[in-house]
Amino acid sequence: MGERIKNAAPGGVRRKTIPRRRTRGAPQRDGRQKERSANAVDLFSIIGPVMIGPSSSHTAGAVRLGRAARALLGEEPGEAEVVFYGSFARTGKGHGTDLAVVGGLLGMPMDDERIRDSFRLAEAAGLSVTFSRKIDGGGRHPNSMELRLTGKSGKKLSLSGSSVGGGNILVNRVDEYSVSFTGEYCTLAVFHRDEPGMVSRVTGALADSGVNIAQMRVSRADRGGDAIMLIETDQPVNRATAERIRALEGVTGAMAMDRL
Amino acid sequence: MRYADSLQKVLEALKPGERLSDFFLRQEAAVNGTTEEEVFRRMEENLKAMEEAAEKGLRPGLKSVSGLTGGDAFRVKAAGEAGKLPGGALLNGLMYRALAVAELNAAMGRVVAAPTAGSCGILPAVILTVGDAAGADRKARVMALVTAGGVGYVIARRASLSGAECGCQAECGSAAAMAAAAAAELAGGTPEMSVHACALALKNHLGLACDPVAGLVEVPCVKRNAFCASAALVAANLALAGVRSVIPADEVMDAMKAIGKMMPAAIRETAEGGLADTPTGRRLADGIFGRD
């Protein structure tokens, strides 16, 4: 299992560094170089986010992880298994982490005042959720969870991620693929066969619709098997483009997610 | 010229007659490829959310998920208005607004992290209360938030805003510093006065531990918001009177970071030391979470 950047023929895969928001709370654990221009200012990383409390890491971040799983599933979830690790397991109850992740699974934004009521709303929506807690998180970030969803159609999706502080998240696994995205950008997830030309076809479709790629990663489970592209874009990917990508030869699924 | 990690350099980069808020608004728009109108509009949404939180948090029956906090904002406002408290309306307003927003946060209400959820009551309390006292209009209050955001950004770049990294001096201390700078501007002070206010406020919170009972953002966090809001007012008053911080703001930030590194993990948001480790603290934690 591994991940690498593929070079696509037209224009190549562009990788840009963009001033990233400062994360508060536990230090960033993904080892990524955070480059900022000398005079970059980001007022809204300091004043904001607007969120449901009490904790940007244990509440707001948990909502976003639920949102990420729902967006990648691409349909209404009917069942969810949630595993809390580390600090999520130890203090999640007092921080409303369980209420928060269910709110996210229902598609609520981080500042939705209905999050307090999410269990009742989940029941009304036909979503059943089970929780388990593992205080020993292994090597995981102290605020980590795993989500296993079953959609109303029977479709399944699993996701692992962490809440790294300030309401920011890092998703590190989608199904069997190792990934790394934050939901700060519009993100396109393309499930596809691992074969030559795939990246070129997908990025070509994006280029045709005027969408600029901020960051991109490809990850596969086995060579020549199935793979996933996670593409973070400067502009949203509209429905027509997502449909076009979904219909490409070799693509088995595509989900265009707004900023989480 | 690099200035995003130095308030001294920010002062040197100001155009003649420019306030800190004008400068940060200009920079935010230019660097992020947007307009000053859009930045103002977004910041006004934050002000609106803060105003709503300060109102909603006054509910008498407000209670946090754990039951540890809630209802004190109402209590303090009522006692102040009944003339029972020395300190006058200004202090009372700072206190009950800070408590209201912090209690609302603990009760899973809607707040603005500024810079964090644990410190979310400080800036609203200062902007709204000092804004009223200074007769500041809406535009001035939004611009004061811009100043606070800019000052906070410099602290984030140069030092830290994270309780886990540097203790509560980084969260509530920084919020107080941001609010002090904003208050000085609201009251008609110069940019230099805002920077002195920031330094004075941050200095007062050096060494402040993050030792939350049961690991929740409640004890001592909620009431600390009231203390830090009043500290911001003291710092602004000193600066407006011409009092200068002997140690410059940038060096105070460096000291804060250095002290943070010296602080043991037990008092850096791990709920292992200090108040979290008192007999009452442990008993409360067991009561909320059950024994592991």
Residue A89 burial (10 A CB sphere; 0-12, 13-18, 19+)? buried
Cα–Cα dist B222/B103, whole Å: 6
Residue B277, Cβ density class (10 Å: 0-12 exposed, 13-18 middle, ≥19 buried)? middle
Provide the whole-model pTM: 0.87
Percent of chain B with pLDDT over 70: 99
For the segment B200-256, what is each residue's pLDDT rounded down to a tens digit?
A: 999 999 999 999 999 999 999 999 999 999 999 999 999 999 999 999 999 999 999
Parallel/antiparallel/unpaired status of strands A2-4 and A251-257: unpaired
What's residue A224's pLDDT? 86
pLDDT of res. A2: 34
Q: Do B165 and A55 touch (CB under 8 A)?
A: no
The pLDDT tens digits of the residues spanning A152-172 come to 999 999 999 999 888 889 999
DSSP line for B201-243: HHHHTTT--B--GGGSS-TTHHHHHHHHHHHHHHHHHHHHTT-
Q: What is the mean pLDDT of chain B?
A: 95
AA identity, residue A7? N
Q: Are B190 and B11 in contact (CB under 8 A)?
A: no
Residue A31 has pLDDT above 90, yes or no: no
For the cut 60, the answer to whether the pLDDT of residue A6 exceeds it is no
At A33 the pLDDT is: 27
Q: Taking CB atoms and an 8 Å limit, are B145 and A47 in contact across chains?
A: yes
Q: How far apart are CA A2 and CA A220, in angstroms?
A: 6
Q: What are phi and psi of A23, to 5 degrees?
A: -100, 140
The string of pLDDT tens digits covering residues B66-98 is 999 999 999 999 999 999 999 999 999 999 999
B137 with B189: CB under 8 angstroms? no
Q: Give the number of other CB atoms < 10 A from CB of residue B204.
A: 20
Q: Which of residues 216-235 of B touch A (CB under 8 A)?
A: 216-218
Query: Is residue A250 pLDDT above 90, yes or no?
Result: yes
Under an 8 Å CB criterion, which residues of A touch B?
Answer: 19, 22, 24-27, 36-56, 59-60, 87, 90-91, 93-96, 99, 111, 113, 115-116, 135, 165-167
Does B216 contact A111 at a Cβ distance shorter than 8 Å? no
pLDDT at A27 over 50: no
One-letter identity of residue A209: S
Task: Write the secondary structure of B77-133 as one string of H (helix), E (strand) and C (coil).
Answer: HHHHHCCCCCCHHHHHHHHHHHHHHHHHHHCCCEEECCCCCCCCCHHHHHHHHHHHH
Confidence band of A38 (pLDDT split at 50, 70, 90)? low
- In this prediction, residue B2 carries a pLDDT of 60
What average pLDDT score do residues A169-176 get? 94
**Across A40-49, A116-125, A195-204, B26-35, least confident range:** A40-49
Asked if A43 lies within 8 A of B149 by C-beta distance, the reply is: yes
- Overall average pLDDT of the B157-173 stretch: 91
Three-state DSSP at A224 gives coil
Q: In this predicted complex, what is the ipTM?
A: 0.95
Instruction: Taking residues B133-159, report their average pLDDT.
Output: 97
Write down the pLDDT at residue A149.
Answer: 98
- The alpha carbon of residue B108 is apart from the nearest alpha carbon of chain A, in Å, by 5
